[in-house]
Amino acid sequence: MMSFDHPHWLWAALLALLPLLWHGQRTLPHGWLPGVPADPASRALAVALRLLGALAVLGSVIALAGPHRQGEDVERIGTGAHVVITLDRSASMSDGFAGRDAQQGDEAKGRAAARLLEDFVRERPRDLFGVVSFSTAPVHGLELTADHDAVRAAIRASAAPGVGLTNIAAGLTMSLEQFRDKPVTGSRVVLLVSDGAAQIDVRKQNQIRRLFAENRSALYWIFLRTAGGRGPSDPPDPEAGFDPAPEYFLNEYFRDLGVPYRLYEADTPDALARAIADVARLQNQPLRYRETPPRQDLGGLFIGIAFACSLLLLAARTFEVPAWSR
């Protein structure tokens, strides 16, 4: 159905009655009207000219009201997944994989992740993507959408230098909330990309566990490992002087969530590319989703109608005669 941005303009549509009530044509005096022969063609032309005037006014008024038509949702069926990309934007993501400030030839972890994730999105045209970034606090980047241009733009924005700490719990909670009240029409994935972790208190652990169970989402963690550093798969070793790392305990917590979970550790851009490629192979299942087409602006159509009617009226005006011909 047609809708209007400025419906108050529709009151002016009453002005379309004026051409029907007043013809606006030039009149010529005649000595004896009964002597004028009947002319049905002229009468029909007079009615047509009045209708053209009414249409010109009506078309202009409707165009001013901002007419548009919003397309109905269309169900699409393909293969893929609903993927919420959850990106770490803490200060350490500005470092290179070598563990120092990214210098020339040493790509920052955040930029490498954004570059490869853009390719990941580009190669999966049937997926729906959402974007969440986090540091000390989470930032809602983009709701689940099939608009991949917007998704890639949100990922590029996440490559800016990060600030703050790594609050994974807040990022995961916001990501899982994207699935709330949405029908399960395909596989769901939270793709976590981070170079660190932090302790999660018991209350947050229970909340995240509950959200994973409710939303039936898988979790893939791509850990950007600093060269020579410890990672989630390295158990604490008191004899070697290694203190327990938060990443190790977070990995143990994720393994105990009761949902499909996989850990990838990448200590170079090439290893990160292989991890993302493996994720792309894992999630490729039947997917059903609804797509809303962009609205169709109808203002130009009604302006065109008004313009065409006005041109016809102008042409008719030029053919009016100022006096009776002999």
Tell me which fold the domain 74-291 belongs to: Rossmann fold (3.40.50)
Percent of the chain with pLDDT over 70: 81
C-alpha closest to that of 63 among 310, 302, 306, 295: 302
- What whole-number distance in Å separates Cα of residue 131 and Cα of residue 165? 19
Rounded Cα distance between 323 and 121, Å, is 74
Put simply, whether the predicted model's pTM sits higher than 0.95 gets the answer: no
Instruction: Give tens-digit pLDDT for 251-307.
Output: 888 999 889 898 888 877 787 788 888 877 766 566 566 666 777 888 999 999 999
Cα torsion through 11, 12, 13, 14, rounded to 10: 90
pLDDT tens-digit map of 35-52: 777 778 878 888 888 899
More confident residue, 67 or 233: 67
Q: What is the pLDDT of residues 84-112, one digit of tens each?
A: 999 988 887 877 766 555 455 567 888 88
pLDDT of residue 60: 93
Q: What is the mean pLDDT of residues 195-222?
A: 87
Q: Is the predicted pLDDT of residue 162 greater than 70, yes or no?
A: no
CA 289/CA 145 separation, integer angstroms: 10
Q: Which of 55-64, 78-87, 264-273 has the highest mean pLDDT?
A: 55-64
How high is the pLDDT of residue 181? 79
Q: Where are the domains of the chain?
A: 2-28+38-70+295-318, 74-291
Mapping DSSP onto H, E and C, the string for the chain reads: CEEECCHHHHHHHHHHHHHHHCCCCCCCCCCCHHHCCCCHHHHHHHHHHHHHHHHHHHHHHHHHCCEEECCCCEEEEEEEEEEEEEEECCHHHHEECCCCECCCCCCEHHHHHHHHHHHHHHCCCCCEEEEEEECCCEEEEEEEECCHHHHHHHHHHCCCCCCCCCCHHHHHHHHHHCCCCCCCCCEEEEEEEECCCCCCCHHHHHHHHHHHHHHCCEEEEEEECCCCCCCCCCCCEHHHCECCCHHHHHHHHHHCCCCCEEEEEECCHHHHHHHHHHHHHHCCEEEEEEECCCCEECHHHHHHHHHHHHHHHHHHHHCCCCCCCC
**For the packed helices 40-64 and 299-318, what is the interaxial angle rounded to 10 degrees?**
150
